[in-house]
Chains A and B, each alone.
Chain A
Amino acid sequence: MKTLLTEKELQKTMDRMAVAVLKAHRPFRDILLVGVQTRGVALARRLKERLEKKIKEELPMGILDINLYRDDLSTVGEFPLVKRTEIPIAIQGKGVILVDDVLYTGRTVRAAMDAVMDLGRPRFIELAVLVDRGGRELPISANYTGKVYKAKAGDNVKVMFQETDGHEKVVVKQM
């Protein structure tokens, strides 16, 4: 097992991502962070905290479960448990920034975009990910990337957060 980001590096990476998001949107208005269950939500919360400190106002944040939009439902043995989706404000006309922990095949992001579109017509959709591990199977790329890591097919890039895993770091479990 290899550590990709220590806790300290993880914090700094998220600081940088928040700055990049702010830079891209001046003035920063009508933007909604949407975390993809489960670790995307934890990451979105951390970005939200950082952004709020800078803009000095509360930022809305949504939670998205993409299981109903997966493209492999007919092939997976059991249907995955559908978790909570919770979008606090109307998506119509908002700029949506999807937040997820790891970008791999791009299929989750495709599903997330469909899920968002079913809730309304956003002004735009962007993507923020902590780790881009390569291996895309769809023409998708992130607007904000914390760390690029060329993983092998069997590697498991695992982002850990306090509330989901008990501590904060990013590791790679190699085959």
Chain B
Amino acid sequence: MTPFNRKHILSTKDLEVSEVEEILASAKSFKEVLSRDIKKVPPLRGKTVINLFFEDSTRTKTSFEIAGKTLSADVINISKGGSSVSKGETLLDTARTLEAMGPNILVVRSKQSGLPLRLSQALHCSVINAGDGFHEHPTQALLDLYTILEQRPTVAGLRVAIVGDIAHSRVARSNIYLLKKMGAELVLVGPGSLLPKEVEDFGVTATSDLLEGIRSADVIMVLRIQRERLGLPFFPSNQEYSHFFGIDREKLKLCKKDVLILHPGPVNRGIEISPDVADGSHSLILDQVANGVALRMALLYLLAK
């Protein structure tokens, strides 16, 4: 196996299949560590991870924090409100200031698409993109893939439907690149106003007919309706969205019996997914959260040199 010598994790678009496989294999080993009574191993002793979150996050930030601490790294959390950005410092200056304190890895979340890439060019430490604007959220896509592979031997040939606001979803974008690379067949489902213009460039199919999209799917990835991010009405009301695109028990009956349901969270119960489906036997939502820690341990481990 070729050694993993990537310095940053910025997108799934530029990951090689062999790198993805190494990340997933490592995540599997780290999942065992998380099942122990004493969840602590020493490989990142003396290394520092800074979580630099310019945008709100509970699960991703906590996930990276637990991942780093389980590996014995020192983890420091900085959020928008608690940083000098609120005093007018530019994001780049804030990042440079932090780097001067000598962290090994900077985990960045921002509203601006491309900020992690910009930081990776300006700084010497490793950068992990923990979600940037409408661009990518590679660690989410990797943990989604890992979660599917716990249930299925391969994703090659699997039909994956991604349902919701595809156009504004970095989770969708990262998943499209990654799943396509690994051989899955993708169908994007959503209202016409929320389907990206570049569907053809992705080499995937798209539809606004939910049943057509999910009927033969092996996996349904439900996206969160991000009303706080949009600010504009792309669809008339939550009720109408729920009626046409929400996944509930009735619609699930028309799907494959062993269909897997994923959702990156946080869930708007009753809008994009009904509570009985979110908590039902097809749902892997909590597996995704648990696997997120193992996957992020793998990334921190592989980047920390």
Contacts and interface: CB of A to CB of B under 8 A. Distances in A.
A and B: bona fide binding partners: yes
Interface of A: 65, 67-70, 73-74, 77-79, 81-86, 114, 118-120
Contacts of A119: 36-38
Interface in B1-47: 1, 3-5, 22, 25-26, 28-30, 32-33, 36-38, 40-43, 46
A70 B301 CA distance: 13
A24 B35 CA distance: 33
B37 A78 contact: no
B304 interface: yes
A73 to B, nearest CB: 5
Contact of B32 (A70, A73, A78, A86): A86
Given A65-B29, A86-B32, A119-B36, A81 B41 contact: no
For the complex, would chain B's binding face be called helix, strand, loop or mixed by DSSP majority?
A: loop
B251 interface: no
Nearest to A117: B38
A83 B41 CA distance: 14
A77 B305 contact: yes
Contacts of B28: 84
Contact of A78 (B5, B26, B40): B5
Contacts of B267: none
Given A68-B41, A120-B37, A81 B305 contact: no
Nearest to B301: A79
B42 A79 contact: no
A23 B41 CA distance: 35
Q: How large is the interface on B (under 10, 10 to 19, 20 to 34, 35 or more residues)?
A: 20 to 34
B167 interface: no
Contact of A74 (B5, B46, B301): B46
A79 to B, nearest CB: 6
Interface in B33-66: 33, 36-38, 40-43, 46
Contacts of A79: 4, 43, 301-302, 304-305
12 contacts: A65-B29, A68-B41, A73-B43, A74-B46, A81-B22, A82-B30, A84-B32, A85-B29, A118-B40, A118-B41, A119-B37, A120-B37
B2 to A, nearest CB: 10
Contacts of A77: 3, 305
Contacts of A78: 3-5, 305
B288 to A, nearest CB: 22
A83 B28 CA distance: 9
B157 to A, nearest CB: 27
A80 to B, nearest CB: 9
B29 A118 contact: no
Contact of A82 (B26, B36, B42): B26
A81 to B, nearest CB: 7
Contacts of B301: 79, 82
A73 B37 CA distance: 24
Nearest to A80: B3
Nearest to B304: A79
B230 to A, nearest CB: 41
A114 B43 CA distance: 12
Contacts of A86: 32
Contacts of A82: 26, 29-30, 301
B37 to A, nearest CB: 7
A51 to B, nearest CB: 26
Contact of B29 (A73, A84, A114, A120): A84
B42 A68 contact: yes
* In the A-B complex, the 3 residue pairs with the closest CB atoms: A78-B3, A82-B29, A68-B41
Interface in B92-123: none
A74 B44 CA distance: 9
A82 B305 CA distance: 14
A79 B25 CA distance: 14
A96 to B, nearest CB: 16
Contacts of A65: 29
Contacts of A114: 42
A14 B3 CA distance: 35
Contacts of B5: 78
Interface in B255-284: none
A148 to B, nearest CB: 32
A114 B42 CA distance: 10
